[in-house]
């Protein structure tokens, strides 16, 4: 399903892939986030995604024109997960709402791993 906005010129449809890409770019800029993670359900393996594959670690659902974002992330070793999560939620919520003009209803964060960064 696509996000919808109506204005005086007509209707604007936003694909969920565009929202996921923007949200992923915003998320990796947050302190403590190493990157997005892809989980192989069959093997249970977690893989750190490259910057051009960010959308694989994010799912976007639209219900009643409100966004629900699910992030699968890898966090940096030694940081407070709750602080990183709070920072991620506030940054993504603000920037995605400004970008799309749609309300972010819920953001779920799944920490799939911890990495030591240099």
Question: Number of helices (H) and strands (E), helices first, in the chain?
Answer: 2, 7
Is the domain covering 2-115 a CATH 3.30.70.1350 domain?
yes
Compare 114 and 42 and report the one with higher pLDDT: 114
Work out whether the CA dihedral 23, 24, 28, 31 comes out positive or negative: positive
Q: What is the pLDDT of residues 17-61, one digit of tens each?
A: 999 999 999 998 999 998 888 766 555 556 666 666 667 789 999
- For residue 1, the model assigns a pLDDT of 62
Does 10 have pLDDT greater than 90? no
């Amino acid at each position: 399903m696509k996000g919808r906005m109506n204005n005086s010129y007509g209707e604007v449809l936003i694909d969920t892939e565009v929202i996921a890409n923007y949200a992923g770019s915003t998320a990796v800029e947050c302190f403590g986030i190493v990157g997005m993670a892809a989980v192989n359900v069959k093997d249970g393996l977690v893989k750190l995604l490259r910057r051009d594959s960010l959308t694989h670690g994010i799912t976007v659902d639209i219900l009643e024109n409100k966004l629900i974002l699910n992030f699968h992330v890898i966090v940096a070793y030694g940081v407070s997960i709750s602080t990183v999560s709070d920072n991620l939620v506030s940054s993504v919520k603000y920037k995605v709402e400004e970008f799309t003009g749609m309300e972010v209803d819920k953001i779920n964060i799944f920490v799939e791993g911890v990495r030591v960064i240099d």
